A and B are shown apart, each in its own frame.
Chain A
């Protein structure tokens, strides 16, 4: 008996570990908003599984990019080039097939290499030349957007069986009714983009939590000078993080192509801020050192659930969504500050 209570206590202290507080805050706020929607609009279908899955579908490409962004933010950096790189990816794929007749398989792989290469280049500039990440990646953003416009200044819509097939690949959800598998009503389907999103979140979690690389990422964000003195491979890790983020941007660009089936030089304009704010709402500290993939996932979901509520309401202007997101961002920055000052006060 006594053994059991002891075990329970240790579980409680494990759960109450202050390092998870921010993630809890995100999840709780998501649940509160979801509960509000469920109570107000439960009858009009807010609580269905389809609505829930749509939270993922709506912002899946931002979510994919946010996986890489979370890592960058944990190291204490920032990457403003993600939306431009994603847009460039779309352009490469669309232009490659429609104007040059290259198979999307090749252009997709090529654009991933471009993303990784550009990311690694920016990472190297940040580490070796000591250029602030903000400036470096802003430059990278201009470069990617510029190349994009150089390729074509108008939107290129594309029509390729592979793209259609990928975009059409959906997992339809069934449930068991009286011993028979029937489709969930209303019919709920999981898109390819959502699958990529979830796979990336899982992969990101494993990378951050269960590898040496992940621990080095956190260490660098905590105190880069110390990390160096502790003998950690700081340069290598930082470059790898930006390269991974470049890969995520390209993947997000591919996911975006699957949704819009076109390439456009002005696509996803300002999207980097959506991505960064998702990660921050998910509890990632802009000062580095703190952040979890699960939190980022809920950050992305929070950015879907608010427009959903406005949609269900039907009378509100959609700009309320922006205002609510802005308010939420502010709230989170305040909470983060409170948590940080609380732990500072806690230590004597």
Chain B
């Protein structure tokens, strides 16, 4: 593996050349002499952990932030984008992770608002054509809010593509898509690439990078690590370059040993609700980690919500710690020692304007009831304890949680539920959208909790994580429990799970 920083050379087919970009934020140098070169007709992955400078680099290019030093050559001419609008006009289109469209406008209006095409008939016809290119047969005259997040994401890409742009920036476009939709998006990306567009692709999913990219540029701590052809380095080397540590070390995690005679924490029999899930039976021992694998929408989240009382099951019964309980609402579950970290951190998890301390206190206080408030001293003690235990990167407990990075926000939410001292902790996609280092830390924390006798249900789309940490794995498919695998797991497990998801049958 090359040790020195790899500089790119000047090539005639470069559509974009960013040289020596520097960007200073108060107290931190976000970009320090970064070079980035994009060829026409390539998909170029931009990689790095949170805070590595990916977003800042993109923001400099799209005019959201203004660089302090360096030059940007676009099509051979030097440019200084002043605003997103300005960048769009020059031919640099961006699709953000959050969908930046208007839910009340129709699909067609969303694609064309602000463009020269205006008449309803024309834009409807053009939008239909465009969506068909994306293999989506939808009614473009319906309001955008009528459609799923995945479709909305496709519409926002359609809008970006429709601008006669030469560069398309996709910032985490796949985080809300399932496997089929990702494939659809990749097909469109390949088409655009063939048409000569330069695509910058940002994602946390390493598999997707290898599936679609031609080259990759890695950043770390605001500096350029290097640019590589996709075949040049493997996944392990890539992560090592991103993290700056050896991946073998950071992911040296193993499932916790569970005593065979440990008492049951959870026993669910024939849980079901019409629509999402049917006939789920689960059993968990104290200190066990149960992984949930399956595709998005296969019923993983819905099952967890039924146990937590956010969704009422219409059939089946639940036993917690050997005692039959009726969980009608989340509060009942909390009182019985169940904790649930929901999937959408931004929407269901954090209260952005409250401090870290207040965010940690929320669940504890709810459990105690408002008549038994925690004193400020107790709160401070508790907050400091978890900030230290989880190594949350913050100057103090009074910082607003909204100002933390994704990984640190996730740790605060973990702390919130750990503080309630649960017997059963359900984590729904706790590692989504956070960087590799933080992922490893979250997983280590889960395993430590298991050691302390907490039973953990771990839901994740990233199969490697599930396999690495779980004692047992439940594979979900179409709202049913397709299989249950018992560890220890080996290198074959992943293909076995994939096979079950694909074919639905119980693997032999």
Residues on A facing B (Cβ under 8 Å): 13-14, 17-19, 212, 215-216, 218-219, 221-223, 225-227, 229-232, 289-290, 343-344, 346-348
A346 to B159, CA, bound (A): 24
Q: Is A215 a contact of B142 with CB atoms below 8 Å? A: no
Q: Is A215 a contact of B146 with CB atoms below 8 Å? A: no
Q: Is A14 a contact of B103 with CB atoms below 8 Å? A: no
Q: Is B145 a contact of A347 with CB atoms below 8 Å? A: yes
Q: Is B102 a contact of A289 with CB atoms below 8 Å? A: yes
Distance in angstroms from B156 CB to nearest chain A CB is 9
Contacts of A225 in B (CB 8 A): 100
Select which of B114, B139, B148, B297 is within 8 A of A232 by beta carbon: B114
Q: Is A223 a contact of B103 with CB atoms below 8 Å? A: yes
Query: Which of B67-75, B104-112, B286-294 is near enough to bind chain A?
Result: B104-112
Q: Total number of A-B contacts with CB less than 8 angstroms?
A: 77
Q: Is A231 a contact of B88 with CB atoms below 8 Å? A: yes
A215 to B102, CA, bound (A): 11
Contacts of A19 in B (CB 8 A): 104, 106, 142-143
**Interface membership of B130, Cβ < 8 A:** no
* Contacts A/B (CB < 8 Å), 13 sampled: A14-B141, A18-B146, A215-B113, A216-B114, A219-B114, A222-B102, A222-B104, A226-B99, A226-B100, A229-B96, A230-B102, A289-B103, A347-B146
Distance in angstroms from A207 CB to nearest chain B CB is 14
Contacts of B84 in A (CB 8 A): 229, 231
A348 to B89, CA, bound (A): 34
The main secondary structure of chain B at its interface with chain A is: loop
Contacts of B113 in A (CB 8 A): 215-216, 219, 230, 232
Q: Is B114 a contact of A231 with CB atoms below 8 Å? A: yes
Contacts of A227 in B (CB 8 A): 102
Contacts of B146 in A (CB 8 A): 18, 343, 346-347
Q: How large is the interface on B (under 10, 10 to 19, 20 to 34, 35 or more residues)?
A: 20 to 34
Residues on B facing A (Cβ under 8 Å): 84-85, 88-89, 96, 99-106, 109, 113-114, 118, 139, 141-143, 145-148, 159, 297
A344 to B99, CA, bound (A): 16
Select which of B99, B104, B106 is within 8 A of A290 by beta carbon: B104
Please name the residue on chain A nearest to B84 by beta carbon.
A229
A346 to B141, CA, bound (A): 16
Q: Is A230 a contact of B147 with CB atoms below 8 Å? A: no
Q: Is B104 a contact of A347 with CB atoms below 8 Å? A: no
Contacts of B142 in A (CB 8 A): 17-19
Q: Is A212 a contact of B118 with CB atoms below 8 Å? A: yes
Please name the residue on chain A nearest to B152 by beta carbon.
A347
Q: Is B145 a contact of A231 with CB atoms below 8 Å? A: no
Distance in angstroms from B140 CB to nearest chain A CB is 11
Q: Is B141 a contact of A222 with CB atoms below 8 Å? A: no
Q: Is B147 a contact of A347 with CB atoms below 8 Å? A: yes
Q: Is B143 a contact of A343 with CB atoms below 8 Å? A: yes
Contacts of B102 in A (CB 8 A): 218-219, 221-223, 226-227, 230, 289
Please name the residue on chain B nearest to A224 by beta carbon.
B102
Apart from A226-B102, A344-B145, list 11 A-B contacts with CB within 8 A.
A14-B141, A19-B104, A215-B113, A216-B114, A218-B109, A226-B99, A229-B84, A229-B96, A230-B114, A347-B146, A347-B147
Contacts of B148 in A (CB 8 A): 347-348
A341 to B436, CA, bound (A): 37
Contacts of A344 in B (CB 8 A): 145
Q: Is B105 a contact of A219 with CB atoms below 8 Å? A: yes
Q: Is B109 a contact of A229 with CB atoms below 8 Å? A: no
Q: Is A229 a contact of B100 with CB atoms below 8 Å? A: yes
Q: Is A226 a contact of B101 with CB atoms below 8 Å? A: yes
Distance in angstroms from B356 CB to nearest chain A CB is 26
